[in-house]
Amino acid sequence: MRLLLFLLICQCAINSINAYSASSPSVILLMADDLGIGDLGCYGNRTLRTRNIDRLAEEGVTLTQHIAASPLCTPSRAAFLTGRYPIRSGMAAFSRVGVFLFSASSGGLPSEEITFSKLLKERGYATALIGKWHLGMNCERSNDFCHHPLSHGFDYFYGLTVTNLRDCKPGQGSVFLKGVQKSSVIPLQITGITLVSLALVHYIGLLRVPFRALGYCFLIATISLVVLIFFFYHFRHLNCFLMRDHQIIQQPLSYENLTQRLTKEAVQFVERNTDAQFLLVLSYLHVHTALYASKNFRGKSKHGLYGDAVEEMDWSVGQILDVLDKYNLSDKTLIYFTSDQGAHVEEISSSGEVHGGYNGIYKGGKSTNWEGGIRVPGLLRWPGVIQAGAYLDEPTSNMDIFPTIVKLAEAQLPSDRIIDGHDLMPLLQGKVAQSNHEFLFHYCNAYLNAVRWHPGNSESVWKVFFFTPNFSPEDSNGCYDSHVCFCHGRFITWHDPPLLFDLSRDPEEKVPLTPKTERRFYEILRIIHLAIENHTRSLHAVPNQLSWDNLLWKPWLQLCCSSLFQSCYCDHDSERNLLEVNLG
């Protein structure tokens, strides 16, 4: 009897240990920027060296149908943090521009949205975001920080509030210049011709135009032109800066050893929290252009500067794994690696070097809902809890991270809103065989572009396109003439009936099915249209955070660590690093 009682006590203790080990882990979320699924060894690349990222695959689960909720940075990251389609939070644009471009814009992730960082912070987790944010900063004043990471559940922030752009790095060209030239030439010509014509008809006496009115028109045109020239001449100083919490510490941003600095901050955060649960989001600037790599990696890969950047990011992942091993935290930490969307295939430098990544067999890239734009790496590792070396060929989403880690932290999922993501743990632990995502809705900005359907009784994954981007040149794999693909007007082609693919048989989306080649063609479309009706009914009107008013630069929201007369210059980060070296 005593032996039986002893065995029961032992079994309860073991169950208690197992239950604890499978809940409340520390969490590290690693997000690359514009990384192609074909850039990693664990997804088939044989020329880039990504041994540390590949180690996550060897020691964890590889998701082969992991889908970004949007093919653009800002909406994809909003969905990742909230577990909700970006259309629900107003983080999907109705205009051509679908991301934030300026630090002094007023749009951003609304304070009403609940992020996983907020919920984990409430559970006592230490929380940090290192790297790229790209979800806004201020609303009405330059110091209200309503959209800042610290207002969305992060205790600590070190990074960029906007994004890495070619304009941020001298000599790398501009993402704005061509667009500004195209959009400003005609208005400037019209304004000039109008002013000259009015002056001329006044001079010859055909029409009496008050000189004051002409003067005001000329003054307004001149001021507008001066502001435009000033802004783009100083773009790097005004928009490309590094922050620690609410303070600018480097303006403009220096790329010197930038990945090392981001990695150092991440490692130090882990070291400060070895005895506590923590959430670390390490959001890399790699491999968004402007590309960069430190001296130790420059010129070392087989794929130019892009490959150097990928391999430097892989080194950084290795540093994170090493610090977990050093403090015996590996078994207590869930790690996730992904990219915010697919590779930007149109990225080519002024010298002709390819600066975009490789999406493997998949069509298209960033800014499109072809598989190359939304099928991204998805790697999860948690030794002893998640099976090592496993592959999951089920549709999953970056929105799934929200409910997964919230439940693991034993926090409550919000009950006052729809959460579109699903808990991944049953899939990862082999308790279920099929994803809960029967349907996934693919938006191009705020426009429903495509729908994916994975029936429960079938291996097929149907995908319907209502419109597709017009590639330029036509026989290419992207929109090279406009640098990215757009979502409306002359940039797209509508399809009636919609294009239908079965991704289980045609993952490259090469041959659309027809009523002749797929006998269930109209039945599949009918079911998908019913799903769209249900989905549409669940949407509610919210303020558009990416309206032109919220996107445009507002001088009164501009942050400057010195003064405009000093070109907004400071470099406290380098000063601090130099001090640490001297003291060390």
Instruction: Tell me the pairing of strands 156-160 and 242-244.
Output: antiparallel
Q: Taken in order 295, 296, 300, 303, is the CA torsion positive or negative?
A: negative
SS3 17: helix
580 phi and psi angles, rounded to 5 deg: -65, -40
**Are 238 and 562 a contacting pair, CB within 8 Å?**
no
Q: Is 139 tagged catalytic?
A: no
SS3 readout for 537-563? HCCCCCCCCCCHHHHCCCHHHCCCCCC
**Half-sphere exposure of residue 433, counting CA atoms within 13 Å on the CB side?**
4
- Phi, psi angle pair for 469, to nearest 5°: -70, 150
Question: Residue length, the chain?
Answer: 584
Q: Could you tell me which residues come within 8 angstroms of residue 564 by beta carbon, excluding any fewer than 6 positions away?
A: none
Burial grade of 192 (CB within 10 A; 0-12, 13-18, 19 or more):
exposed
The backbone torsions φ and ψ at residue 41, rounded to the nearest 5 degrees and listed phi first, read -60, -40
Residue in 165, 133, 167 with CA at minimum distance from that of residue 246: 133
Which two tokens mark 289?
């252009």
Q: Residues 6 or more apart from 563 whose CB is under 8 A from it?
A: none
Determine contact, residues 372/364, Cβ cutoff 8 Å. yes
Q: Whole-angstrom Cα distance, residue 281 to residue 279?
A: 7
Tell me how far apart the alpha carbons of residues 367 and 365 are, in angstroms, rounded to a whole number.
6
Q: Does the annotation mark 134 as catalytic?
A: yes
Distance CA 14, CA 27 (A): 24
Question: 426 Cβ partners below 8 Å, 6+ apart?
Answer: 432
Q: Containing H/E element for 113?
A: none
Distance CA 489, CA 96 (A): 10
Is residue 435 within 8 A of residue 67, CB to CB? The reply is no
Q: One of 66, 134, 148, 303 is an active-site residue; which one? A: 134
Catalytic position from the list 73, 240, 487, 568: 73
Bridge-based pairing state of the strands 247-251 and 242-244: antiparallel
The pair of three-digit structure tokens given for residue 421, joined into one six-digit string: 């993501």
Active-site residues, by number, are 73, 134
